[in-house]
Amino acid sequence: MKTNVLTQMWGIFLIMSVCLLASCSENDTPALTDPAEMYEPDLTFRGDALSLQINGTTVTDCSVYFEPVEEDSTQMMMYIMNYVPQPVKILIKTTPGEGVVTFEAVPGGFIYERQIKGTYYADTDKADGSSRRIQADCTLSAYWGTGSNEYHFLSKCLFRTAAKAGTIEWQGKEISRWDFVQEVLDKISLRIAEKITDMKLVLHEDFTFETWLKQAGQTDYELWMTARYWIDPQYTNSMSWLFTPEQCEQFCAQWLGSPLDPYGKSPFQKWGDYYELPITYWNTSNGFAWTIANPNRYTALDMFMQGKGMEGLTEEEKQEMEMFSQVLYDVEDLSDWMSWCIVLVPNTIAN
């Protein structure tokens, strides 16, 4: 009898021990942070909640938010705002951990490569969620359209690539619009060459570009400006050049001239502390061909006609320039990229 009681007690002890161990095991298992926390409604990371490096530089005026990807619960779309005029979108893969979620970019991309490694830190300090933060190191690299290209104004590198058909009356003769515009562009190119014979444009993978100019009578290029650019993958052949206010003034003074009306329109669009110049570009067999995108191209034309385009001209040359402007404006839609697409085409691809 005594043996049976001891056996029963021993069995009960074993059962209780197993349950206790199981309970302890469950309690000791760390809870993984749900990545869905990262895209809760209206949750945006900025200021002290965001530590972000892009191409080795800490950025402080950006913000970040996330959206889920329906096809894969382990992935989400990361949006970096205010680094460039358009949102930088990066598809990331998440790995939940205790109090954190680590993430990295999903390989693949178009026009530029996006690499990122980061960590989301959950609400470990404050119950109201104010301690949530993101730490990330991002690399953005352009691998399409980069390189160095030279434009020789003495060789006439300005061309019309899209135009309105028809003829005009000029100096008592009937001449095609196409031929007239190209003849004037050739003359403009030669006038530029009186001071600047060559220009070299160098686009780097880190989304900066350099402009080098060769003054008339010189044999070497001189660095004129280093600025930022961005390629928008949503629109084919669309690029933005980003200038500081000082660089914007420098660009206008060199190529366009100041408008007669100090409050007149500008081809630049204000974006934060920068001025954006929208560019349409093509990678041709000769290299990087580009033009100011419409309708901004027509605003640039207005500034050119008020400034650089008329400097030092005879009355006959001014009349020709006025006709040139009238022909360019004789289109149905100023916003159409094909409305007199005036392109700067490289003569050579530089080493």
Q: Model confidence over 43-80: pLDDT tens digits?
A: 999 999 999 999 999 999 999 999 999 989 999 999 99
In angstroms, the CA 4 to CA 24 distance is 30
pLDDT for residue 182: 95
pLDDT for residue 24: 47
Sequence-separated (6 or more) residues with CB below 8 Å from residue 134: 45, 49, 50, 51, 52, 64, 118, 119, 120, 121
Encoding tokens for residue 254?
């060199």
Q: Is the model's pLDDT at 109 over the cut of 70? A: no
Q: Which residue, 103, 339, 296, 145, is CA-closest to 233?
A: 145
Q: 29-38, 73-82, 105-114, 195-204: which has the minimum mean pLDDT? A: 105-114
**Residue 342 DSSP symbol:** E
Sequence-separated (6 or more) residues with CB below 8 Å from residue 127: none
Residues in the chain: 351
Q: Which residue has the higher pLDDT, 163 or 72?
A: 72
* Mean pLDDT in residue range 254-266: 69
pLDDT for residue 71: 86
Q: Is the model's pLDDT at 20 over the cut of 50? A: no
Per-residue confidence band for 190, with pLDDT thresholds at 50, 70 and 90: very high
Q: Is the model's pLDDT at 110 over the cut of 90? A: no
Q: Which residue has the higher pLDDT, 318 or 337?
A: 318
Per-residue confidence band for 236, with pLDDT thresholds at 50, 70 and 90: confident
Per-residue confidence band for 156, with pLDDT thresholds at 50, 70 and 90: confident
Backbone angles phi, psi at 57, to 5 degrees: -115, 130
Encoding tokens for residue 252?
């206008």
Q: 44-53, 104-113, 235-244: which has the minimum mean pLDDT? A: 104-113
Encoding tokens for residue 285?
């067999």
Three-class SS state of 313: coil
Q: Is the model's pLDDT at 14 over the cut of 60? A: no
**Residue 108 DSSP symbol:** -
Q: How far is CA 282 from the centre of its chain?
A: 16
Q: Where do the domains of the chain lie?
A: 35-142, 147-349
Q: Name the helix (H) or strand (E) containing 12.
A: helix 2-28
Share of the chain above pLDDT 90, in %: 68
Q: Which residue, 169, 158, 180, 176, is CA-closest to 325?
A: 180
pLDDT for residue 108: 76
Q: Model confidence over 279-301: pLDDT tens digits?
A: 999 887 778 999 999 999 999 99
Per-residue confidence band for 130, with pLDDT thresholds at 50, 70 and 90: low
Q: Which residue has the higher pLDDT, 335 or 263?
A: 335
Per-residue confidence band for 8, with pLDDT thresholds at 50, 70 and 90: low
Sequence-separated (6 or more) residues with CB below 8 Å from residue 112: 140, 141, 142, 143, 144, 207, 231, 233
**C-beta of residue 86 within 8 angstroms of C-beta of residue 232:** yes
Three-class SS state of 121: strand
**Residue appearing with tokens 């001209």:** 313
Q: What's the mean pLDDT when you consider all of the chain?
A: 87
Encoding tokens for residue 138?
């991002």
